[in-house]
């Protein structure tokens, strides 16, 4: 079962049906001769620790880059910065080192995407964000920048798309002012009802009751926060194909308001019951940002500070354990204030440690998680009411960097890989860079782009796909009385006449990615089910297939009962065209 929040979708792919005039084929078999070179780009900032100014004029020989502890030859190198008149300057280019030309480097832009999380943000935070953005761009857009403005308020909407026109940006900000910030509606609530379960004799009833309510608190908070994570990932996937330096600036408080906090005691920590409730958002956001080549900046302009009753003051330590769930890939850069925060979300109870109020600790940990996620991508987390100043800091961080690249010896292995950059000759400098990435397969990347297009409301069908729905079968899930699951057979038909196919020997060849995911009535989403599918037709039957035939792909989706929408996307590799079709399943 692939699940995300409370929405579940299980997809079972069957062998593709052999369409009219099509030859039988081995599902998923790649065409011989296909190769993929994985070039990993790493933007790097080098800052003097005493002055805070960038260290300029370094060459490729000054750097050392390691992946998973092994030194990698630098295949591309350039130094980029903006002069006082905002012109893009290039220095340190060495044609013997870099495979790219200086003219190509010069045209690289900064793709700066702003995502305003109005789902969790309060009205005051929204106002500060808009005022700060207006002040930053009322005099113009720096040369070489493309600006996009995206809003998430339960749904994603683009108000400005890759523009350098200040009038367009200012007009978009005026439109966003009319969008209601829903953050003040996202207060955590929880039921007083307890699960009907026998109380263990090992602990008293008060401990049992507290545990059940705390779990409900965590579940409800995560359902809200993970929707913001979906929106951020979809936004990055949409702009991941853009050339140049990519940066996402997320305006978000990181979690909804709450007037209640888990009431933990010593025994809860000893038994590992305590867990920071929103760590998954920031963990996954760091992974996705690194994978899609984005530098992540987080700006908390909301001024939201959670309030807690005095009855939750308990003794806990001010530490987190020292690794992510995925290993130590996403540690902070060389900043001691960041390395104290980590991502597995577990509290460690130490009776002898320094203690403080639980509410204060949760607020500090929320900030630490945001700092950790952004810093792991080479970015920053900023907590300031003066958004214009914060944006100035972000622009300075993007204003000068070195671009390093190397060719990895793997492609699409799905594994996490660590990155470390050193400047041995400058020991008094701080080096800022993304500290790792996940080498996702082409199918996963395609699935991310498809889901992004679906969430942004795209419904084009240039490939002319048809989806035929078979008779549904339903059954009750074992162990969860009353939770009905429905199995629905689907057949996706793709006309050969719409596909771009190339001749390879005695075959015509194409490739598509087929992706499915579900969304329930509350906006919770399932995980992605994505499949890479080569399509071939024998050359002597190609004309007939184009005239009359279609490629048919059969699959079965299994969803939980209730109002859900299943999105089906088909993306063609050769042309990049994408067809998207939503299917509604009622109650």
For residue 203, pLDDT beyond 60: no
Q: Among the listed ranges 268-272, 302-306, 537-541, which one has the minimum average pLDDT value? A: 268-272
Are 244 and 386 members of one domain? yes
Q: What is the CATH number of the domain that holds 291?
A: 3.40.50.410
Give tens-digit pLDDT for 517-538.
887 777 777 777 888 899 999 9
More confident residue, 460 or 135: 135
Q: Is residue 345 part of a domain?
A: no
| C-alpha closest to that of 558 among 526, 524, 513 | 526
Please check whether residue 318 is in contact with residue 269, taking contact to mean a CB–CB distance below 8 angstroms.
Answer: no
| Mean pLDDT of the region 504-513 | 91
Instruction: State the pLDDT at residue 82.
Output: 64
Q: What is the CATH number of the domain that holds 504?
A: 2.60.40.3880
Backbone angles phi, psi at 419, to 5 degrees: -130, 135
| Mean pLDDT of the region 172-200 | 73
Are 467 and 527 members of one domain? yes
Q: Is residue 343 part of a domain?
A: no
The boundaries of the domain holding residue 78 are 38-108+400-438
Are 567 and 473 members of one domain? yes
Q: Look at the chain and report how many structural domains it folds into.
A: 3
Tokens of residue 490, six digits: 């689907």
Q: Is residue 271 part of a domain?
A: no
Q: Which residue has the tokens 């796909």?
A: 465
Q: Is residue 325 part of a domain?
A: no
Q: Is residue 491 part of a domain?
A: yes
Instruction: State the pLDDT at residue 325.
Output: 35
Q: How far is CA 199 from the centre of its chain?
A: 40
**CA 161 – CA 364 distance, rounded (Å):** 35
Are 89 and 188 members of one domain? no
Please check whether residue 290 is in contact with residue 439, taking contact to mean a CB–CB distance below 8 angstroms.
Answer: no
For residue 270, pLDDT beyond 90: no
For residue 133, pLDDT beyond 80: yes
Are 393 and 533 members of one domain? no
Instruction: State the pLDDT at residue 343.
Output: 34
- Alpha-carbon torsion angle 544, 547, 548, 550, nearest 10: 90
Looking at the whole model, is its pTM more than 0.85?
A: no
Q: Is residue 458 part of a domain?
A: yes
Tokens of residue 230, six digits: 């979906």
Q: Is residue 580 part of a domain?
A: yes
Residue that terminates a domain, selected from 418, 438, 458: 438
| C-alpha closest to that of 288 among 231, 371, 219, 244 | 231
More confident residue, 254 or 404: 404
Are 228 and 246 members of one domain? yes
Are 418 and 380 members of one domain? no
SS3 assignment, position 321: coil
Q: Using 50, 70 and 90 to split pLDDT, how confident is the model at 200?
A: low
Are 102 and 163 members of one domain? no
**CA 270 – CA 255 distance, rounded (Å):** 26
More confident residue, 430 or 337: 430
Local structure of residue 105 (DSSP, 8 states): H
For residue 543, pLDDT beyond 80: yes
Are 146 and 287 members of one domain? yes
Q: Is residue 65 part of a domain?
A: yes
Local structure of residue 16 (DSSP, 8 states): P
Q: Using 50, 70 and 90 to split pLDDT, how confident is the model at 444?
A: confident
Instruction: State the pLDDT at residue 91.
Output: 46
Are 488 and 429 members of one domain? no
Are 471 and 577 members of one domain? yes
Are 96 and 126 members of one domain? no
């Amino acid at each position: 079962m692939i699940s995300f929040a409370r929405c579940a979708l299980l997809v079972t792919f069957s062998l593709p049906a052999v369409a009219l005039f099509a030859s039988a084929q081995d599902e998923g078999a790649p065409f011989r001769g296909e190769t993929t070179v994985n070039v990993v780009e790493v933007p790097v900032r080098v800052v003097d620790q005493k002055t805070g100014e960038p260290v300029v004029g370094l060459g490729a020989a000054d750097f050392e880059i390691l992946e998973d502890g092994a030194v990698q030859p630098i295949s591309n190198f350039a130094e980029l910065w903006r002069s006082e008149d905002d012109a893009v300057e290039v220095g340190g280019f060495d044609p013997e080192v870099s495979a790219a030309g200086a003219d190509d480097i010069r045209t690289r832009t900064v793709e700066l995407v702003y995502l305003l999380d109005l789902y969790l943000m309060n009205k005051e935070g929204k106002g500060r964000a808009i005022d700060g953005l207006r002040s930053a761009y009322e005099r113009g857009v720096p040369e070489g920048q493309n600006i996009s403005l995206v809003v998430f308020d339960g749904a994603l909407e683009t108000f400005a798309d890759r523009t350098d026109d200040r009038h367009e940006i200012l007009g978009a900000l005026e439109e966003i002012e009319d969008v209601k910030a829903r953050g003040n509606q996202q207060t955590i609530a929880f039921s007083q009802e307890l699960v009907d379960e026998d109380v263990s004799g090992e602990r008293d009833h008060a401990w049992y009751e507290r545990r059940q309510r705390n779990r409900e608190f965590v579940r409800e908070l995560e359902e809200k926060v993970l929707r913001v994570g979906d929106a951020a990932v979809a936004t990055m996937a949409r702009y991941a194909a853009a050339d140049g330096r990519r940066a996402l600036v997320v305006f978000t408080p990181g979690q909804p308001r709450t007037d209640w906090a888990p009431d933990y005691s010593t025994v809860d920590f000893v038994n590992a019951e305590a867990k920071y409730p929103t760590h998954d958002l920031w963990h996954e956001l760091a992974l996705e940002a690194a994978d899609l080549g984005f530098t992540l900046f987080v700006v908390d302009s909301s001024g939201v500070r959670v309030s807690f009753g005095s009855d939750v003051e308990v003794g806990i330590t001010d530490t987190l354990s020292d690794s992510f769930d995925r290993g130590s890939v996403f540690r902070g850069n060389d900043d001691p204030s960041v390395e104290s925060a980590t991502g597995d979300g577990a509290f460690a109870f130490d009776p002898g440690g320094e203690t403080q109020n639980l509410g204060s600790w949760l607020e500090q940990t929320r900030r630490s998680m945001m700092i950790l996620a952004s810093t792991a991508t080479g970015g920053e987390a900023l907590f300031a009411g003066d958004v214009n100043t914060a944006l100035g800091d972000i622009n300075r961080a993007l204003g000068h960097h070195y671009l390093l690249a190397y060719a990895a010896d793997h492609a699409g292995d799905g594994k996490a890989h660590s990155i470390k950059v050193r400047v041995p000759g400058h020991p008094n400098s701080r080096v800022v860079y993304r500290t790792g990435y996940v080498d996702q397969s082409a199918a996963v990347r395609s699935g991310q782009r498809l889901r992004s297009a679906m969430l942004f409301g795209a419904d084009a069908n240039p490939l002319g796909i048809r989806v035929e729905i078979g008779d549904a079968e339903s059954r009750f899930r074992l162990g969860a009385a009353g939770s009905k699951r429905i199995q629905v057979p689907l057949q996706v038909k793709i006309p050969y006449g719409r596909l771009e196919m190339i001749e390879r020997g005695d075959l015509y060849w194409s490739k598509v990615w087929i992706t499915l995911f579900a969304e329930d009535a509350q906006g919770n989403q399932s995980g992605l089910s994505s499949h890479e599918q080569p399509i071939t037709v024998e050359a002597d039957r190609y004309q007939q297939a184009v005239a009359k035939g279609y490629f048919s792909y059969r699959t079965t989706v299994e969803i939980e009962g209730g109002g859900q929408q299943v999105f089906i996307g088909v993306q063609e590799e050769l042309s990049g065209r994408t067809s998207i079709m939503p299917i509604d399943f009622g109650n």
